[in-house]
Structure 1
Amino acid sequence: MAETQDGRRRHRKPHAIFIPYPLQGHVIPSVHLAVKLASHGFTVTFVNTHYIHHKISTATGSGADVFSKLRESSPGGESLDIRYATVSDGLPLGFDRSLNHDQFMASLLHVFSAHVEELVAGIVASGGEDEEVSCLIADTFFVWPAKVAKKFGLVCVSFWTEPALVYTLYHHVHLLRQNGHFGCQDRREDAIEYIPGVASIEPKDTTSYLQEANETSVCHQIIFTAFQDARGADFVVANTVQELEAETISALQAQMSYYAIGPIFPPAGFTNKSAVRTSLWSESDCSHWLDTRKPGSVLYVSFGSYAHVEKPDLVEIARGLALSGVSFVWVLRDDIVSSDDPNPLPVGFREEVSDRSMIVGWCSQKEVLAHRAIGGFLTHCGWNSILEAAWCGVPLLCFPLYTDQFTNRKLVVDDWKVGINLIDCKAARKEDVARNIGRLMGGDLGDELRKRVKEVKKTLASALESNGSSARNFGQFVEELKNKIQTTGERRSE
């Protein structure tokens, strides 16, 4: 609160610092949430790491602020107040974060917070008379948000980019320990039936980190520390939908201020170019090739922006694609196996499938999924990919690789029944791959999956309508956040 010349108090515009986790799958929904907050009267200072900014700038051929075009094209000529800053993640730009994953995570665990504190201190100190930095929004996987927010007197918002089911598993890891499903030598293998809001879940459907015997890795340290810190957040906002995870979300809401506000998508939709470019790689245009294909005839294949595939599995998947006879678009990153193995496909594969395939390094996934030619999606089960596929009415062929993807697969295959498993064993075999591609892309099962995914699409769309659950939750969150900011500001000024 600021005072006018006659002593009356007037409201300052709320100003939030927003810091996404520096991975592609976290940056994308964070950008769209920042835009949404700005359109609801917030000043937002959005903070990318130097590395993420460098990757986006290289991919787009522009070193400009990633929001600059959006400001120019704001509806009604009203400029959204989104500012942009960058911060070091503690590593040099040339460091290969994909190849050296553990060192990258260690820097985020031990070093990054010092750079963040310095940045936040500078932004807070630069606040003008009509505005005051009042809120810190940061990814739940950071280990420092509540502590940093408390140090600077800011309201803390934890942004969760995965399903509520994954959140509640991490939030209740102490129950998993107490009941012998995690953190012990002879861990139980029966179903987990004591997590609030989760009727039952098999250990194999928990996240990869909760299935591992070694709990001393840097990623385990990040998860445990982050979820301790998250208990100090004032609000948790999540990129999920109330109706899709009703019991789990209700149980979390009984414990904390938890708001399901997803799916968090660009306001322009999937078929229009977003004014904010978030891709870390240069995008190939697949539309002309897809235009030549029959509706629903093409399988889209992508294992996301960060996960790695074991080379034997990748080779069998490639051979299965060849055996299936199905047309496909395959996004194949240079580091999909390793930065040290940029060409992992079987010899002769590209030539064998050249008449019915398009293999690219990266593309606009949302635009490809929205194309009429796409009839299925072979996916690693990243949460963004699942929401985008459901929004486009595309059924899923699931090949989870690590972290939340095993739990996401459970939701897709077992709960919502909008997809099937690529394989039902540890290692991929080309015969299984080809058979399940055929099941997904044609026949009665494929038709049934498409029917069901359209129902999930309706649920997502309904949630975003003016009286839908996500729209209501977002409105309530904004109102309560502004009230909390006002109360916190008044306490500071007393």
Structure 2
Amino acid sequence: MRRIKLDKESIHHQITRSKNQTNHCKEGGINIFAEARKSGLDIRYATVSDGFPLGFDRSLNHDQFFEGIVHVFSAHVDEIVGKLVQSDPPVNCLVIDTFYVFASPIARKYNLVNISFWTEPALVFTLYYHMDLLRINGHYDNYDKREDIITYIPGVESIKPTDLTSYLQTDPTTVVHRLITKAFVDIRNSDFVISNTIDELEPQIISVLQENQPFYSIGPILPTGLTKSSVPVSMWSESDCGPWLDTKPKGSVLYISFGSYAHTSKHNIVEIAHGLLLSEVNFVWVLRPDIISSEEADYLPTGYDRLIEYSGMIVPWCSQVDVLSHPAVGGFLTHCGWNSILESIWSGVPMICYPLLTDQFTNRKLVVDDWKIGVNLHDKRSVTREEIAENIRCVMSGKSSDRFKQEIKKVKKTLENALARGGSSQKNLNQFTMDVKKKIRKNQ
């Protein structure tokens, strides 16, 4: 089967640049699917512009970028899909991120099977899917928002308003709110939804969703073997933390990372820095140069490098899966991005949850309340060094640490079983493939 992957030009550029820097290659010196093709997969790819220059900072110009996604990017995708359907053999399916709201018109225009790819947990999907219920009941888009427990979302036993996604807790008039609303109107026109979760982690929610439309849990989608993938995915040059980690005792190191997109304040970075010192834990801390939403680069306490000379390693980026899977790592202070949570579970590493935006608040609920494999760092905008140190100790040492380790072993086993031969994810993927083939034949 031939697969053609469309990469956003900016993402493709950043990945290839980081790979070139890591391997000391010249710009443009790699083909990101070269290794995957050696395994026999016929994967081809083309890049498509989102309408902005490569140097445009999409995360710091958030609203402007999403206006472009709504009004400009769709035209570029339409143009390149139109060319691909004329190729030999022609494409017959469009697999596209749920938030790209132009999927249905393009799929209809070119008679393609419309497959929506949901990259977050089913709980977040169903909250957006039922925004109308949240609005009717006064928990969203209401001047006097209710603060009581939400019990009326189909498949969700209960959820606190503070565990809703950030966009369901804030002013509903932004461009992102318009995009989300449009996406979850459009999702009802998709032929299939595939999701990066598993049936066993969210059984009741997934069962209810399947009553509305075909919904297949095919996760966890992780790099091959959770080590170096045959397809490069990192958008920054990676530091090698292995030699430093090799010098540390088993389970003694806390890994800290807030992902590739989210930002936080200088105050919180300083408090985390002091909290790490108070906890007396070894740590690897990923601090992106743009972690603070400003031009300020000097945001750590004066002389911090000297204070952590033996206990800490600070890097701009690293291979997260390699660090999490290292025996020395015993905890993860995370922003609760869904990929980070899945990787942490797969590596058996309990979490300290520090959500910053979007789905991360809801993901925290799953980690802390439902699966009991981590602690909640805070419920307010700023954190203190004392609570940071206390939570680090809770996860990294003592009876509570042992409890978290036991619980995450159980959840890890659940993921492994889902991916095993005959597991739920494999069965769902096989069923999805058969259903897509039937739909293609019907469309012809």
Write the letter of the residue equivalent to 1:395.
P
- Please state how far the C-alpha of 1:50 moved relative to its aligned partner: 1.1
Output aligned runs, 1:314-463, within 5 Å: 314-338=269-293, 340-463=295-418
Moved more, 337-346 or 219-228: 337-346
For 1:144, the equivalent position in structure 2 comes to 102
2:257 to 296, 302, 306: 302
Alpha-carbon distance in structure 2 between the residues aligned to 1:68 and 1:107:
31
Q: Does 1:92 align with 2:58?
A: no
Structure 1, unmatched stretches of 5+, are 1-41, 490-494
Alpha-carbon distance in structure 2 between the residues aligned to 1:346 and 1:110:
43
Output aligned runs, 1:151-300, within 5 Å: 151-212=109-170, 214-267=171-224, 269-271=225-227, 273-300=228-255
- Please state how far the C-alpha of 1:99 moved relative to its aligned partner: 1.9
Alpha-carbon distance in structure 2 between the residues aligned to 1:192 and 1:457:
29
Alpha-carbon distance in structure 1 between the residues aligned to 2:189 and 2:272:
44
Write the letter of the residue equivalent to 2:352.
L
Aligned residues of 1:98 and 1:339 also touching (Cα < 8 A): no
Deviations 1:220-254, CA, capped at 9 Å, x for gaps: 11111111111110000000010000000000011
- Please state how far the C-alpha of 1:423 moved relative to its aligned partner: 2.9
Alpha-carbon distance in structure 2 between the residues aligned to 1:410 and 1:139:
24
Moved more, 228-237 or 345-354: 345-354
Using the aligned pairs only, state the percent identity: 56
Instruction: Look up the SS of the partner of 1:44 in the other structure.
Output: strand
Write the letter of the residue equivalent to 2:221.
I
Alpha-carbon distance in structure 2 between the residues aligned to 1:342 and 1:108:
29
Alpha-carbon distance in structure 2 between the residues aligned to 1:144 and 1:248:
26
Instruction: Look up the SS of the partner of 1:53 in the other structure.
Output: helix
Alpha-carbon distance in structure 2 between the residues aligned to 1:221 and 1:471:
35
For 2:32, the equivalent position in structure 1 comes to 66
1:313 to 262, 265, 268: 268
Write the letter of the residue equivalent to 1:46.
K
Alpha-carbon distance in structure 2 between the residues aligned to 1:439 and 1:167:
31
Q: Does 1:45 align with 2:8?
A: no
Deviations 1:338-374, CA, capped at 9 Å, x for gaps: 2512332122222211211110011110011000000
For 1:132, the equivalent position in structure 2 comes to 90
1:107 to 61, 65, 68: 68
For 1:20, the equivalent position in structure 2 comes to none
Alpha-carbon distance in structure 2 between the residues aligned to 1:95 and 1:154:
32
Alpha-carbon distance in structure 2 between the residues aligned to 1:306 and 1:211:
20
For 2:23, the equivalent position in structure 1 comes to none
- Please state how far the C-alpha of 1:105 moved relative to its aligned partner: 1.4
Instruction: Look up the SS of the partner of 1:48 in the other structure.
Output: strand
- Please state how far the C-alpha of 1:266 moved relative to its aligned partner: 2.7
- Please state how far the C-alpha of 1:69 moved relative to its aligned partner: 2.0
Deviations 1:428-467, CA, capped at 9 Å, x for gaps: 1101111111111000001100100010000000000111
Instruction: Look up the SS of the partner of 1:355 in the other structure.
Output: coil
For 2:82, the equivalent position in structure 1 comes to 121
Aligned residues of 1:65 and 1:84 also touching (Cα < 8 A): no
For 2:428, the equivalent position in structure 1 comes to 473
Write the letter of the residue equivalent to 1:336.
I
Aligned residues of 2:276 and 2:389 also touching (Cα < 8 A): yes
- Please state how far the C-alpha of 1:66 moved relative to its aligned partner: 1.2
- Please state how far the C-alpha of 1:138 moved relative to its aligned partner: 0.1
Aligned residues of 1:98 and 1:335 also touching (Cα < 8 A): no
Alpha-carbon distance in structure 2 between the residues aligned to 1:409 and 1:354:
32
Alpha-carbon distance in structure 1 between the residues aligned to 2:74 and 2:297:
33
Instruction: Look up the SS of the partner of 2:336 in the other structure.
Output: coil
Write the letter of the residue equivalent to 2:142.
C
Write the letter of the residue equivalent to 1:429.
T
Deviations 1:143-170, CA, capped at 9 Å, x for gaps: 1111110111000000000000000000
Instruction: Look up the SS of the partner of 2:442 in the other structure.
Output: helix
Aligned residues of 2:84 and 2:90 also touching (Cα < 8 A): no
- Please state how far the C-alpha of 1:71 moved relative to its aligned partner: 1.0
Alpha-carbon distance in structure 2 between the residues aligned to 1:431 and 1:60:
39
Instruction: Look up the SS of the partner of 1:117 in the other structure.
Output: helix
- Please state how far the C-alpha of 1:94 moved relative to its aligned partner: 1.3
- Please state how far the C-alpha of 1:178 moved relative to its aligned partner: 1.1
Write the letter of the residue equivalent to 2:376.
N
Alpha-carbon distance in structure 1 between the residues aligned to 2:351 and 2:370:
13
- Please state how far the C-alpha of 1:396 moved relative to its aligned partner: 0.2
Aligned residues of 1:324 and 1:437 also touching (Cα < 8 A): yes
Aligned residues of 1:334 and 1:343 also touching (Cα < 8 A): no
Deviations 1:77-116, CA, capped at 9 Å, x for gaps: xx21111100000101111112211111111111100000
- Please state how far the C-alpha of 1:172 moved relative to its aligned partner: 0.6
